[in-house]
Structure formats: C-alpha cells, structure tokens
C-alpha cells in the first residue's frame, strides 16, 4: 500500500488528532494501545485521505460520521480506499452521545469482529469485558 507522504495530508492528520470529536475520543479509548489486540492508528493518512481509525493488519478503516458527512463524497472515497484493499466501516457519531454505553459497545464489538475476519486471527480473549 502506498504511503501518503504529502506534507499537507500529514499536517492535517496531526491537527485532527489534536481536536477529536467526543465520539472519536470515546472510540479511541477502546481502540488505543492495542487494547483490542489490534493496533489502530488515529487520523491516519492513506492515499490522500485521512481515516479516523486505521488497523493496517486488518486493512480496516473506521470512520466516525457526523452530520456534515456527504454520502456521495463518502461513497467515492470508500471506493478509492477499497481499491487499496481497505474496508471502511462507518459509525454515526450520534450513537456515542447517548448516556447508555450499549450502542457504542456494540459498535466496538463489530469493529473487533471485522478485524478478526479480515486478519484471520482472534482478538484478545477479554476484549469486551
């Protein structure tokens, strides 16, 4: 997979890491430091795009979608990333703004399951406990 060494993409990714949304902060707490058994990078630049969370081993991108997302633009972007072998899993931000943690725990479980399927190995045994 080609590395995106364009300074603008890298600078934008760095800036985005400094100002994440509430939903991105919550998701990052689950994914950071390989807590799931899979290493994720936050705001990772790939092919001229920034992916909110990216697991290279599983070639999985997780996008936290706010109200401002354009479905047509996202579809084009997802297709281009798919051509690089990357599956994009989209999660609406609003699910992470509820007081009940059940919806986002389900989303994290889905992300872990996708990583397991795409990498061909199991996550850590106590991931969701």
Domain segments of the chain as ranges: 7-119
CB neighbours of residue 88 within 10 Å: 19
Average pLDDT over residues 80-99: 91
Instruction: Tell how far CA 46 is from the center of its chain.
Output: 12
Report the 3 state secondary structure along 14-46. Answer: HHHHHCCCHHHHHHHHHHHHHCCCCCCEEEEEE
Task: Please tell me the predicted confidence (pLDDT) of residue 67.
Answer: 74
Class of domain 7-119: alpha beta
Instruction: Tell how far CA 104 is from the center of its chain.
Output: 13
Average pLDDT over residues 75-89: 96
pLDDT digits (tens, 9 = 90+) for 92-106: 988 888 777 777 889
Distances (CA, A) of 10 to 4, 44, 49, 77, 102: 8, 8, 10, 18, 34
Question: Which of the two residues, 82 and 9, has the higher pLDDT score?
Answer: 82
Task: Using only the alpha carbons of the chain, give its radius of gyration.
Answer: 14
Whole-model pTM?
0.80
H/E element, 64:
strand 60-65
Question: Which of the two residues, 125 and 21, has the higher pLDDT score?
Answer: 21
Q: Three-class SS of residue 73?
A: helix
């Amino acid at each position: 997979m080609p590395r995106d060494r364009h300074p603008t993409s890298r600078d934008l990714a760095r800036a985005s890491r400094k100002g994440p949304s509430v939903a991105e902060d919550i998701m990052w707490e689950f994914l950071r430091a390989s807590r799931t058994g899979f290493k994720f990078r936050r705001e990772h630049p790939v092919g001229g795009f920034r992916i909110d969370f990216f697991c290279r081993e599983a070639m999985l991108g997780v996008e936290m979608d706010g109200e401002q997302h354009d479905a047509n633009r996202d579809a084009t972007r997802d297709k281009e990333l798919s051509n690089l072998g990357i599956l994009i899993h989209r999660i609406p931000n609003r699910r992470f703004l509820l007081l009940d943690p059940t919806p986002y725990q389900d989303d994290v479980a889905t992300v872990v399951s996708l990583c397991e399927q795409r990498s061909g190995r199991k996550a850590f045994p106590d991931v969701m406990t």
